[in-house]
Amino acid sequence: MQYLKELYLVSKVMYIQIVPKLLTNTIKIDKILVSKITVVKFNTKISGGTNNMKILGYCRISTNKQSIERQHRNILELYPSAIIVDEVYTGTKVEGRKEWNKLLKQVKQGDTIVFDSVSRMSRNAEEGFSLYEELFNNGIELVFIKEPHINTTTYKEALTNNIQMTGTAVDSILKGINEYLLALAKEQIKLAFIQSEKEVRDLQQRTKEGIETARLNGKQIGQVKGSKLTTKKSLEAKETILKHSKDFKGTLSDIDVIKLCGISRNSYYKYKKELIEELNETRQ
Clarify whether residues 194 and 254 are in a common domain.
Answer: no
Clarify whether residues 114 and 241 are in a common domain.
Answer: no
Clarify whether residues 177 and 63 are in a common domain.
Answer: yes
Residues 6+ apart with CB under 8 A from 121: 58, 115, 128, 131, 132, 142, 144
Do the beta carbons of residue 143 and residue 114 sit within 8 Å?
A: yes
- As for how many domains the chain has, the answer is 2
- Domain annotation covers residue 109: yes
Clarify whether residues 239 and 179 are in a common domain.
Answer: no
Q: Domain containing 241: what range? A: 232-283
- Domain annotation covers residue 219: no
Q: How many angstroms separate the Cα of 36 from the Cα of each of 28, 33, 41, 182, 234?
A: 10, 9, 15, 13, 56
* DSSP code per residue over 37-56: EEESS-------SGGG--EE
- Domain annotation covers residue 173: yes
Residue 175, domain CATH: 3.40.50.1390
Backbone angles phi, psi at 45, to 5 degrees: -115, 130
- Domain annotation covers residue 208: no
Clarify whether residues 116 and 187 are in a common domain.
Answer: yes
Clarify whether residues 275 and 135 are in a common domain.
Answer: no
- Domain annotation covers residue 127: yes
Which residue(s) pair with 37 in the sheet? 24
pLDDT at 164: 75
pLDDT at 229: 57
User: From first to last of its 284 residues, what are the pLDDT tens digits of the chain?
Assistant: 443 344 344 444 443 444 344 333 333 333 322 222 222 222 334 344 445 789 999 998 876 666 788 999 999 999 999 999 998 865 555 566 889 999 999 999 999 999 999 988 887 888 888 899 999 999 999 999 999 988 999 888 877 777 777 778 877 887 787 777 777 778 888 888 888 778 777 776 877 777 777 777 776 555 555 555 567 788 888 888 888 888 877 888 899 899 888 888 888 998 888 888 777 665 54
- Domain annotation covers residue 185: yes
Clarify whether residues 151 and 26 are in a common domain.
Answer: yes
Clarify whether residues 264 and 149 are in a common domain.
Answer: no
Clarify whether residues 22 and 66 are in a common domain.
Answer: yes
Q: Which amino acid is at 58?
A: Y
Clarify whether residues 245 and 148 are in a common domain.
Answer: no
